[in-house]
């Protein structure tokens, strides 16, 4: 009996030991499995982070590269070596920055003005001159967009006007990039005024270019102007100095004392054999006769309203006489 009990105890003890060993092995296996799973998850997460990181970093680099490539190329193509500057059309300051280009067209017009390294206004261009529209634009009763013009050094002189390169009536603004000190008679009654009226009467012009020349690099007062533009298919080139044209004509002996109405008629009638034909007088082919051209052809001034040549000339002040 005692032997049976001992055998049973031995069997139970063996079973217990084996069970514990199995449980411990199972626990070890579970721990190893959990460790492997954790390691796998960690690896997966790390892989996800490593893959996602480049996407976040690369996007701004691409945007910056595109911006750097586009901006300078656009400016360089249009105006190489110059800074594009925005200036209010009514800015009265007479100062100009050097080596810049400024849009001096009123509204949506594009008239480009260029300065040199000394801040001198040396060139103005426009593909198309669009004349002032006083019905739809804010124009004063005096025909101006602005009440005053920029005070470029030199305009304080009694004999110099604040002269527009492109007049108000042709859609130009009044800042320093469209103003030069210009001899008053030239600006109001001479070649400058004649050129502006020709463009107005033609309803505009194309391929406009003004070249402004100076006697030295220290002044803002031009010595001469050259205008090139196209009117109704005809290319016109106007060259004139920044001087009083009446004084020049007098010094050349091209002016005489004003004759009476009858004397004027008789004198001018010497050219009546060419009446109606201005081709030999209109040397620049503009379709209009300038005072200079009329004098060169032998006509005495003034040309009055009853003369055959009068309809082919411009009477700027509307008094029935040209060249008085």
Residues 92 and 240 in one domain: yes
Per the CB < 8 A criterion, the answer to whether 126 and 103 are in contact is no
What 8-state DSSP symbol labels residue 172?
B
Write the CB contacts of 34 (distance below 8 Å, at least 6 apart in sequence). Answer: none
- To the nearest whole number, what is the mean pLDDT of the chain? 80
> Is 277 found in the same domain as 235?
no
pLDDT at position 256: 60
Q: What is the pLDDT of residue 59?
A: 52
The segments of the chain whose pLDDT lies below 50 read 37, 42-43, 45-50, 62-75, 260-274
Regarding whether 237 and 100 lie in a shared domain, the answer is yes
Q: Is the dihedral of CA 35, 39, 44, 48 positive or negative?
A: positive
Instruction: Report the pLDDT value the prediction gives residue 90, as an integer from 0 to 100.
Output: 96
Q: Please return the burial class of 145, using the count of CB atoms within 10 Å of its CB with bins 0-12, 13-18 and 19+.
A: buried
Note if the bond before 302 is cis, omega within 30 degrees.
yes
What are 188-243's pLDDT values in tens digits? 999 999 999 999 999 999 999 999 999 999 999 999 999 999 999 999 999 999 99
Structural domain ending residue among the three candidates 16, 50, 78: 78
Quick one: 115 and 166 in the same domain? Answer: yes
Q: Tell me how many domains the chain contains.
A: 3
DSSP 141: T
Q: Is the pTM of this model over 0.75?
A: no
- Can you give the residue range of the structural domain that contains 239? 83-248
Domain boundary among 199, 221, 248: 248
């Amino acid at each position: 009996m005692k032997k049976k009990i001992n055998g049973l105890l031995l069997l139970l003890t063996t079973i217990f030991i084996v069970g514990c060993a199995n449980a411990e092995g199972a626990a070890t296996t579970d721990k190893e499995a959990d460790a492997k799973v954790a390691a796998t998850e960690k690896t997966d997460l790390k892989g996800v982070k490593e893959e996602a990181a480049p996407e976040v970093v690369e996007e701004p680099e691409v945007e910056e590269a595109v911006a750097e490539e586009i901006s300078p190329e656009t400016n360089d193509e249009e105006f190489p070596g110059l800074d594009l500057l925005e200036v209010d059309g009514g800015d009265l300051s007479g100062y100009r920055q050097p080596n810049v280009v400024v849009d001096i067209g009123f509204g949506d017009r594009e008239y480009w003005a260029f300065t040199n390294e000394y801040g001198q206004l040396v060139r103005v261009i426009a593909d198309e001159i669009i004349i002032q529209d006083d019905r739809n634009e804010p124009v004063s009763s005096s025909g101006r967009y602005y009440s005053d013009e920029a005070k470029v050094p030199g305009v304080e002189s009694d004999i110099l006007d604040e002269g527009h390169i492109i007049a108000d009536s042709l859609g130009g603004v009044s800042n320093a990039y469209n103003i030069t000190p210009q001899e008053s008679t030239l600006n109001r009654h001479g070649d400058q005024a004649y050129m502006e009226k020709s463009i107005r009467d033609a309803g505009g012009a194309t391929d406009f270019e003004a070249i402004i020349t100076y006697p030295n690099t220290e002044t803002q007062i031009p010595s001469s102007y050259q205008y090139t533009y196209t009117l109704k298919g005809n290319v016109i080139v106007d060259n004139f100095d920044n001087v009083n044209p009446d004084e020049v004509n007098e010094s050349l002996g091209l002016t005489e004392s004003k004759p009476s109405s009858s004397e004027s008629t008789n004198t001018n009638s010497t050219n009546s054999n060419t009446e109606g034909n201005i081709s030999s007088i209109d040397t620049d082919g503009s379709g209009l006769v300038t005072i200079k051209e009329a004098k060169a052809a032998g006509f005495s001034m003034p040309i009055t309203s009853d003369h055959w040549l009068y309809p082919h000339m411009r009477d700027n002040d509307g008094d029935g006489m040209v060249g008085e």
